[in-house]
Structures are given as C-alpha cells and as structure tokens.
Amino acid sequence: MVRLTVHLIAKSSNYSKACRSKSLQQYLKKLTHLNFSNKSIEDIDDLSMCRNLTVLYLYDNQISQICNLGFASNLTHLYMQNNNISCIENLSSLHKLSKLFLGGNSITVVEGLDELKSLKELHVEGQKLSRGEKLVFDPRSISSLSETLCILNISKNHIDEIWDLAPLQKLTHLYATDNQLRDIQELETVFSQWSQMRLLDLNRNPVCHKPKYRDRLITACKILEDLDGKQINELSRQFLINWKASKDAKKKLDDGEDIKEKMPNALTTDFRVGPQHPFAHDRSSSLSKPSEYGKPGATDQLQGDSRGRRSRGVYIPVRTGRPRKSETTD
C-alpha cells in the first residue's frame, strides 16, 4: 500500500532540487503546493509539518478516506477527484478552503461541509452510484454554504429534483448535465431565488424537451448569460421578460374579472335564501306588508304629521273639519 508521507515527499524531484540549501524540515514548513496526483496513493499519513500548505493535488489515486488534514488550516484548494472516497468527512478544520474537488468518487450524500465557511466551489460530479441510487444533499451543509458557494457541479448523479439546493442564493454557476431533471415548474421556482445566476448547464436532462424550456428559464434567471452552452442575447432576454410581465398582468386582470362575474347580488340573495336567512323575517315584514293605516311602515308611523300625534309608536288619527254626510242626523 502506498502512503503519502514526509519521506515520500523527500524523495520527490522538487525536494531534490531544493535540498542543497534547505533541510527537509525547512522545506516542509515553507511548502505551499504539493502535487501527488496519479501516484497510486491509498492513504494519507501525518503531514503536520506542512503547516503552510495551501494547494494539495491528490486526484487519480486510490484513496478511500479523507483523513489527517486537520493540520492544513491554510489550505485553500483540495483536489481529490477520481479516488475511492465514499464519505465526505474530516474537513472541519479547513476554514480557508475555497475550492473542493471530489468528482468521480463513490459519494452518495453531500455532507460534512458545515464548517467550511469560505467554500466557493464544490465539484461532486460523476459519482460511482449503484443502480437506482442518486446523489442527495444534507440540509445542514447546504444551509452552511448558502452565503458563500458560487459554483456547483452536480452533473451525472441521477438527480431528479433540486428543491434542497434552493438556499444556495449566491450561486453564479450550476453544472447539472446528464441527470433526471424533468419538472420545469420546479426549476423556475428555484432558479427565480438565485438572483446572481449567470451560467446554467442542464444539457441531457428530460426537462430540456419541455415546451418553451429556454424562454421560461431565461425569464426566471434575470441576469443569466449562458444557458446550456449558448449565450443569451440581451435584446432577446429583455423581450422575454417584457412578454412574461405582460402575460402575468393580463392573467391577473382576467382573474379579477372572473371574480367580479361570480360575485352574487346581495339583495337578490337575501330574497332567495328563504325563511332560514337571519334577516328574512324582518325584510318581509317591513317591505311586503302594508301598515294598518295604509302608511309605508312602522318607521314612518313613528314620525307622525300635522294631523296626528305619537302614542307609543302607534299613529292615532285626529278628526278635524266638517263631518261627512254619513255622520249627520236627519
């Protein structure tokens, strides 16, 4: 088994060139870039003497576990694609890490990134997944990356939805080719929250064959510059945005008119509801029945006039003038 050790570093050609003027310890302390890609390495040994390491290339090896990197607090770039890694772990000390490359491994869950507060690029494309498996995302890691992550590569991972990625509102580039995305409405909803998205690549997803696919995504991503490898003309973008705004305004107006047409006439409804309506009895008594003395109603009865007087709400007529013939005596 090949292990990455300080002795293996000492045997490298780079150290041989510098050994004349520096000891191994001095060389390791000042070392910033270390490239051991494609060296059949299976494990990482204690490299704590390389305290100033900023870039580490370990891609195209046979490493099965991320370990012994706690010392690398200054590490900014870590390349570990095309290994045998199945779990993202032991990265919590890498507070300055800005680019992480883990494509071509056997990872099923994107996790263990909670403490990477400086991470701007994450590449997890092309994981070696079993039949029926898809790459999923731990909500805690996604939430932690929401304020920093700008570039995300999740291509070739059997992904069929991206709701879990919605919090990544700082994304500017998303590579999600060769997946199983098919819901155009979901994409519109999520992409509309990513106000800084400039490049989007969804080639070879079922959703690409949906009607108006390109138009709908351009209007959802207001400053998108490149969709599926094709640049977006600013004039075309503005036309589509204006078209959608006009369409939405018309739909809102039509919906408002439909509501008005469906609104019932309140007075007609009161008459039709029947006796069970709470106001049915009152309305019929005041509007249908004539008053005892031929007056409009009880309210008017209380008012009286110059020929009558009030008496507990009842109008009492007062006889005046000459008597009628029927009242005279022979």
CATH of the domain at 214: 3.80.10.10
Q: What percent of the chain has pLDDT over 90?
A: 62
Give 233's strand partners.
none
> 247-265: per-residue pLDDT in tens?
667 767 766 666 666 665 5
In the prediction, which pLDDT does 129 show?
96
Over 60: is that where the pLDDT of 237 sits? yes
Over 90: is that where the pLDDT of 99 sits? yes
In the prediction, which pLDDT does 321 show?
52
The Cα–Cα gap between 161 and 57 comes to: 32
Is 11 within a domain?
no
Classify residue 296 by its DSSP letter: S
Q: What percent of the chain has pLDDT over 70?
A: 72
In the prediction, which pLDDT does 241 show?
74
In the prediction, which pLDDT does 265 show?
53
Query: In which band, very low, low, confident or very high, does the pLDDT at 18 lie, cut at 50, 70 and 90?
Result: low
94: containing domain: 32-249
In the prediction, which pLDDT does 40 show?
95
In the prediction, which pLDDT does 69 show?
95
Q: Which residue has the higher pLDDT, 19 or 97?
A: 97
3-state class (DSSP) for residue 277: coil
The Cα–Cα gap between 180 and 182 comes to: 6
| Average pLDDT of the residues of the chain | 82
Query: In which band, very low, low, confident or very high, does the pLDDT at 156 lie, cut at 50, 70 and 90?
Result: very high
Is 312 within a domain?
no
Over 80: is that where the pLDDT of 131 sits? yes
State mean pLDDT over 193-220: 95
Question: Taking the C-alpha atoms of 167, 168, 170 and 175 in order, what is their torsion angle to the nearest 10 degrees?
Answer: -150
Query: In which band, very low, low, confident or very high, does the pLDDT at 27 lie, cut at 50, 70 and 90?
Result: confident
Q: Which of 21-35, 239-253, 291-305 has the lowest mean pLDDT?
A: 291-305
In the prediction, which pLDDT does 330 show?
38
Is 285 within a domain?
no
Tokens 């780079």 sit on residue: 14
Q: How far lies 259's CA from each of 82, 286, 312, in Å?
A: 59, 33, 48
Count of structural domains within the chain: 1
The Cα–Cα gap between 143 and 118 comes to: 13
In the prediction, which pLDDT does 300 show?
43
Over 70: is that where the pLDDT of 311 sits? no
Is 303 within a domain?
no
In the prediction, which pLDDT does 23 show?
81
Over 60: is that where the pLDDT of 178 sits? yes
List, in order, residues 6 or more apart from 3 with CB less than 8 Å away: 41, 42, 43, 44, 45
Is 211 within a domain?
yes
Over 80: is that where the pLDDT of 115 sits? yes
Query: In which band, very low, low, confident or very high, does the pLDDT at 33 lie, cut at 50, 70 and 90?
Result: very high
Is 25 within a domain?
no
Over 50: is that where the pLDDT of 226 sits? yes
List the helix and strand counts (H, then E) for the chain.
10, 16
Is 327 within a domain?
no
Q: How far lies 142's CA from each of 146, 173, 296, in Å?
A: 6, 16, 75
Q: Which long-range contacts (CB under 8 A, 24 or more apart) does 114-119 make?
A: 114/140, 114/141, 114/144, 115/91, 115/144, 116/91, 116/144, 116/145, 116/148, 117/144, 117/148, 118/76, 118/148, 119/145, 119/148, 119/149
Is 269 within a domain?
no
State mean pLDDT over 123-152: 97
